A and B are shown apart, each in its own frame.
Chain A
Amino acid sequence: MSPVIHFDQFGVSAEAIRAVLTAALGRGADDADLYFEHAESTSVALSDGKVNRASTHVDLGAGVRVVVGDQVGYAYTEDLSRDAMVQAARLAAEIAAGTGSRQPVAATPAKYADRYPVALPWEEVALEKRVAMVRDWEKRVFAKDARIKKVEVSLADSFRHVLVVRPDGRMVYDYQPMTRAFISTTAQDDAGRRETASSNLAQRMGLEFYSDERVERLIQKAVNDTVVLFEATKAPAGEMTVVLGAGSSGILLHEAIGHGLEADFNRKGVSIYADRLNTAIAPKGVTIVDDGTLPWARGTINVDDEGNAAEKTVLIEDGVLRSYLHDEISARHYGVSPTGSGRRESFRHPVLPRMRATYMEAGGYAPEEIIASVQNGIYCSSFSNGQVQIGAGDFAFYVRHGYLIENGKLTRPIKDVNLVGNGPKVLETIEMVGNDLVIDEGGWTCGKDGQSVPVSQGMPTVKVSRLSVGGAN
């Protein structure tokens, strides 16, 4: 029997895995998987000038999924003993109604490319080092601008060992690191007015992520995003031309297109994009991808949580809808290969088709040219959150700050405004695509059916002719 990667230290044996999968298939299932997870996270936080909080978390458990057609039975346990796992498998198997005597094939480890090799793993970084970093960053934030009065800093890191075992003999292990830095600042001007903003960075890297250049960028952004608000006024209200800055405005793609192209929604006919494969849904020149392979990106996964290799999936190619995002159930439904998009928050959750890093490929326009083409509109540079209604296609995203565009120039800053639109309608009104694609390094998290997974997003500067801006006139 082959060894059990990583989880042997928790007493998991190849024999136990075989017993669990046999129980999972015991009522005549089509397929099953056993998903082990061992995750640990550490964070330190500074407020009031003190590094005064630390936290550590350990999560350990296994989930069993039993699949019959498009029906799913799911159970999990935090107890990795053979008996507890077999009991979970029996519960999951209740979705099937028959009997089965299929025996799982002995599992052998699969190989795949590692897209997030870590140079300086967090497991080897002393807590003292993290404390010193956070202190240093605070000092540097205060030094940037005398108006900064309060600073909060946190540094979090985590790793996840996952092991997926399938009855067909596949055994896929992955080690998934993550780190995230967060700075919140509150500033006060001479008139006594206060403004606050925060900034964060996240990536699947070790200590090496925090290069001088990157830390400087984070700190400068935290300060700039706060003090710019002193000049900012309310945004206008109503439909207008919107220019999305390069980088985190990929949130528009995530909400307007990405969720609607998750294949479970299309298989069930509840997405506005159902039945639109191979039709033009965006102007020529617009290519949108969901990519699990960007080195070290927060949304990157070497393999998905069903054990399939991640890939770069072209969703919209030169305006034409080419693919949905598939897990195995939807791939079977459509008769295509899975796209490596089956993800889950943890062993407590069944797999769903999810995004990884969603972005638009660069176009031909210089960003200045795009801004210069707008008589009246707004430019969006900093975002916090978004949401979509899959079937109606309506989506929203919240702009922390941006600028008015007047006569082709960025003029006064604006802040705190929600933008809404309809996915297919907005796609049709993409007028210009910049040559300056940026994949944002922010700590974005996507929610679906109560499950959160880390994602990335990116965008070149893009002009959309009409979105509804929730300001005041």
Chain B
Amino acid sequence: MEPLELGRDILARARALGAEEATVVVSRGTEVSLTRRAGKLEQATQASSLSASLSLLVDERYSSHSTSDLRPAALDAFLARAVAATRVLEPEAERRQPPAELCGRFTPESVLDRFDPSWETLTAEARRDHAERLEAAVDALPDRGRILSATVYLGDSIGESARVMSNGFEGLGRGTGYGHGVEMTLSDTDGRRPEGFSYFSAAHLSDLPSVESTVAEGWKRAEQRLGSGPAPSGRYPMLLQNHAVGRILGVLGGPLSGSELHQGRSFLAGKLGTRIASPKLSIFDDPTIPRGLGSRGWDGDGLYAKPFPVLRDGVLETYYINVYYGRKLGMAPTTGGRSNWVVPAGTRSVDAITRDLDRCIVVTGFLGGNSNGLTGDFSFGVQGLLLERGEVVGHLSEMNVSGNIGDVLGQFTEAADDTWAWSSLRSPSLLFDGVQFSGT
């Protein structure tokens, strides 16, 4: 059965068992991955998958379920148990589906362009050749002899998702995904074996960077970790590299959400319409970006997925409120989760920005750490570079960066011109002033 057809079938069965409302999502996909190391294929995985998830409202009681056992008899027993389990709960009218007129597709699939038709003709030979070319690019590195081990990764997938809701909404989305990358381990003089990892993802194969630049990026990241150590504790300007921005901006994720606002666990409660960051900083949520890794036609409630500002000129403009928490909070729903985040780029290169600074820390990656959404406090392990007037004077490790996200966003001073396109977070490198680092 096709996903949409199966979704309709499950919905009808759930309704027949007594569910007043139901949402069914059927996902079907195929994924292939290859790794090569030391001149040979190390692992090859391929599989196709089909599973269904559903949420039910029975006597105004809510539950959610999933299964990969889709044999008709098993499905009937599964649904009967699911409906019976729901009746044991306490009613909550806020769980009702949104009205059908709020649901649907905002952006045509042809505009989202998430499906690369060349996937259908991709052969096993082409994949093996691609992985071999990645490995050949590693072997062609001038400093190949310093690499203890290099593993190259290649993966692709196709996924279809059908959504069928009892309010009448039906949607079918389809997309492809490609990725490749390399992990290299180098030998350091003191016995350490620092590693560098680069991985790029895209919806279309032709959007991946070349194998040479992918490998060059992996080498750079590994090489920047040789001879590393901590710098003295203190406040430094922080240049957050484009691909690493997510860990810091991600601190906002929980506090922006309806569930955390409702539970009283968000430092952003009551801050809508107020300035929470430097007026130079904006963040836009845009589910309509062609080929965007977070692009979508509708959201987790089936609501039209439209672009909106999260932060504009430092002012908090939108929370992430799904239908359920919207009713609980007495607010209009926006959407329950982020799609693509876009941070506008500046005009200067990272080099131009750092040359103007006597000293700064470039954060190239993170190690552990966490944040407290109720206070906005965070503390993350970092690795990076110490720069003086744009020149690298030290490779940094065993350090932490800590602070309050509100304070740090207030200290944002400039965005570089180097937007990172291989993530649903599309941001350039960002400069913040006076950030607390701890080391020696």
Residue ranges of A at the interface with B (Cβ–Cβ < 8 Å): 10, 42, 44, 47-48, 50-61, 70-79, 88, 91, 94-95, 127-128, 131, 149-150, 152, 184, 186, 188, 194-196, 234-235, 237-239, 255, 268-272, 274, 348, 350, 384-398, 415-422, 424, 468-473
Contact = CB atoms under 8 A, between A and B. Distances in A.
Contacts of A394: 367, 381, 383, 397-398
A-B interface, 6 closest residue pairs, ranked by CB to CB distance from nearest: A470-B400, A396-B368, A391-B193, A237-B438, A396-B381, A387-B368
Nearest to A64: B47
B92 A50 contact: yes
A70 B42 contact: yes
Nearest to B68: A78
A63 B342 CA distance: 39
A131 B263 CA distance: 21
B64 interface: yes
Contact of B44 (A58, A73, A237, A395): A73
Contact of A470 (B63, B81, B82, B381): B381
A239 B66 CA distance: 48
A388 B397 CA distance: 12
7 contacts: A350-B45, A393-B193, A394-B398, A395-B368, A416-B371, A468-B438, A472-B403
B51 A420 contact: no
Interface residues of B, number: 79
Interface string B217-243: 000000001001010010000000000
Interface stretch (B83-91, B113-121, B272-280): B83-91
Contacts of B225: 392
Contacts of B372: 196, 415-416
Interface in B339-395: 367-372, 374-375, 377-381, 383
Contact of A152 (B40, B45, B263): B263
B89 A53 contact: yes
Consensus secondary structure, chain B interface = strand
Contact of B68 (A42, A60, A393): A60
B191 interface: yes
B265 interface: yes
Contacts of A55: 63-65
A336 B249 CA distance: 47
B222 to A, nearest CB: 9
B379 A57 contact: no
B36 to A, nearest CB: 10
A128 B193 contact: no
Contacts of A473: 233, 438
Contact of A389 (B89, B367, B438): B367
A268 B149 CA distance: 7
Contacts of A195: 374
A152 B64 CA distance: 18
Nearest to B183: A270
Interface of B: 37, 40-51, 61-70, 74, 78, 81-82, 85-86, 88-90, 92, 95, 124, 148-149, 151, 185-186, 188, 191-195, 225, 228, 230, 233, 263-265, 328, 367-372, 374-375, 377-381, 383, 397-403, 436, 438-440
Nearest to B95: A52
Consensus secondary structure, chain A interface = strand
Contacts of B37: 268
B438 A470 contact: yes
Given A238-B439, A470-B401, A47 B263 contact: yes
B149 A72 contact: no
A414 B348 CA distance: 41
B380 A470 contact: yes
Contacts of B41: 71, 95
Given A420-B400, A421-B398, A468 B367 contact: no
Contacts of B399: 420, 468, 470
Contact of B78 (A58, A128, A388): A58
Nearest to A77: B47
B149 A385 contact: no
Contact of B63 (A56, A88, A188): A56
Nearest to B381: A396
A471 B402 contact: yes
A184 B380 CA distance: 23
Nearest to B75: A58
A56 B92 contact: no
Nearest to A386: B368
Nearest to A417: B379
Contacts of B124: 94
A387 B397 CA distance: 14
Given A54-B85, A419-B400, 13 more contacts: A72-B44, A95-B44, A186-B263, A196-B264, A238-B439, A269-B149, A269-B193, A350-B43, A384-B370, A391-B148, A470-B379, A470-B400, A470-B401
B340 to A, nearest CB: 22
B402 A472 contact: yes
A60 B90 CA distance: 30
A368 B89 CA distance: 48
Contacts of A79: 50
A149 B264 contact: yes
Contact of B400 (A72, A348, A468): A468
Nearest to B51: A78
Contacts of A194: 264-265, 374
Nearest to A387: B368
Contact of B369 (A188, A392, A418): A418
A238 B193 contact: no
B65 A418 contact: no
Nearest to A73: B44
Contacts of A131: 88-89
Nearest to A399: B379
A420 B381 contact: yes
Contacts of A469: 400, 438
Contact of A52 (B48, B49, B89): B89
